[in-house]
């Protein structure tokens, strides 16, 4: 590629705890360079105060998500040559919908609190002395749970969601997707309180099916489809002729 020996023009949205500002950086291009490589280069060679988060560098941990040219992505799995054009301009900003701690690091407390609020945790029905239930891999519920089980809490869907942006209380796609996974877990006993939680005025019915979550999920999950499932499930509970009240 002819990008060799050229420089990227990188603009980063910064926050120092008090004021918001932008910094620009010239970063030498490399082959197979990722956006995480770019911010790391900036921190090591240009501005050591630049704050950002990462851990695994290979798309396992979900901590390096940021807005890259206006789209939420994992910086570690985003190749520079996939997101910049011939102008070599790169704009990086923190994830939306979460308070910024510093520069590209956001406070994910509320994001995780909402998982708990949505009863996004397993509610056991048996003790360790009971035999393990046999769940067939091709059973209907297992197949449904399978579609949404690989979430690693990176916050990309939450950042992509305009309903979260408009309504601070909305539980958001990640928490609701997790709730839907548990609704399809035969071993789980929390469906009653979970359906109640996701039927509240912060719950799944606020979703307008904009599909930002499903569009941007790096693990190719479909939170919007999970939320639609929750909507059906809650209605089955509300309607007098509804079934499945377990």
Partner 1 sequence: MMMKHRSHPLWKAFVVHRISGLALALFLPIHFIVLGLALEGAESLNSALRFSELPFVKAAEVFLVLLLAVHLLGGIRILILELTQLSWDQRALSRSAFGLSVAIAGIFLWSAV
Partner 2 sequence: MIDARLYLLQRLTAIAMLPLIATHLILMIFAINGGLTAEEILGRTQGSIGWALFYGSFVLFAAVHGAIGFRTILYEWFIPNSRVCSIASIALLITLIGLGLRAVYAVTL
What CA–CA distances, in Å, run from 207 to 125, 177, 228?
30, 12, 9
Q: In angstroms, rounded to a whole number, what is the distance separating the alpha carbons of residues 235 and 233?
A: 5
Q: Read out DSSP for 180-220?
A: HHHHT-TT---HHHHHHHHTSTTSGGG-----HHHHH-TT-
Site for partner 2 in 122-181 (CB under 8 A): 163, 166-170
Can you tell me which of 62, 155, 173, 203 binds partner 2, judged by CB under 8 A?
Answer: 203
51, exposed or middle or buried, with CB in 10 Å at 0-12, 13-18, 19+? middle
Size of the site for partner 1 (CB under 8 A): 22
Determine the interface stretch with partner 2 among 63-71, 80-88, 140-148, 229-237 (rule: CB under 8 A). 229-237
Can you tell me which of 102, 123, 228, 237 binds partner 1, judged by CB under 8 A?
Answer: 228
Q: Which residues of 132-150 are buried (b: 16+ CB within 10 A; e: fewer)?
A: eeeeeeeeeeeebbebbbe
Site for partner 1 in 160-219 (CB under 8 A): 160, 162, 208-212, 215-216
In the block, residue with structure tokens 């007098």: 240
- Based on the shown chain and the rule CB under 8 A, indicate whether residue 49 belongs to the binding site for partner 1: no
Q: What's the min distance (Å) between Cβ of 206 and partner 1?
A: 13
- Based on the shown chain and the rule CB under 8 A, indicate whether residue 67 belongs to the binding site for partner 2: no
Q: What's the min distance (Å) between Cβ of 41 and partner 1?
A: 23
- Based on the shown chain and the rule CB under 8 A, indicate whether residue 93 belongs to the binding site for partner 1: yes
- Residue number, 89 or 102, with CB nearest to partner 1: 89
Contact, 167 vs 104, CB < 8 A?
no
Helix%, strand%, coil% for the chain, nearest 5: 35, 15, 50
Instruction: Give the one entry of partner 2, partner 1, none that residue 216 binds, where binding means its C-beta sits below a cut-off of 5 to 8 angstroms depending on kind.
Output: partner 1
Interface contacts to partner 2, rule CB under 8 A: 163, 166-170, 199-203, 205-206, 231, 234-235, 238-239
């Amino acid at each position: 590629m002819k990008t060799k020996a050229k420089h990227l023009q990188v603009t980063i949205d910064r926050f120092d705890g008090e004021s918001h500002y932008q910094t620009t950086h010239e970063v030498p291009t490399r082959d197979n360079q990722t956006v995480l490589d770019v911010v790391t280069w900036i921190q090591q060679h240009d501005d050591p105060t630049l704050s950002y988060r990462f851990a695994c560098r290979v798309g396992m941990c979900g901590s390096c998500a940021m807005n890259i040219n206006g789209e939420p992505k994992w910086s570690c799995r985003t190749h520079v040559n996939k997101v910049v054009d011939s102008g070599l301009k790169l704009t990086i900003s923190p994830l939306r919908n979460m308070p910024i701690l510093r520069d590209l690091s956001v406070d994910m407390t509320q994001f995780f609190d909402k998982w708990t609020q949505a009863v996004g945790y397993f509610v056991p029905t048996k003790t360790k002395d009971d035999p393990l239930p046999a769940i067939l891999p091709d059973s209907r519920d297992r197949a449904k749970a399978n579609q949404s089980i690989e979430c690693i809490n990176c916050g990309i869907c939450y950042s992509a969601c305009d309903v979260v942006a408009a309504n601070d209380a909305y539980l958001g796609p990640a928490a609701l997707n997790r709730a839907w996974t548990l609704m399809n877990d035969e071993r789980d006993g929390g469906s009653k309180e979970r359906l109640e939680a996701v039927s509240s005025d912060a719950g799944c019915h606020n979703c307008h099916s904009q599909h930002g979550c499903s569009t941007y999920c790096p693990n190719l999950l479909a939170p919007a489809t999970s939320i639609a499932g929750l909507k059906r499930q809650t209605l089955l509970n509300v309607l007098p002729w509804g079934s499945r009240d377990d």
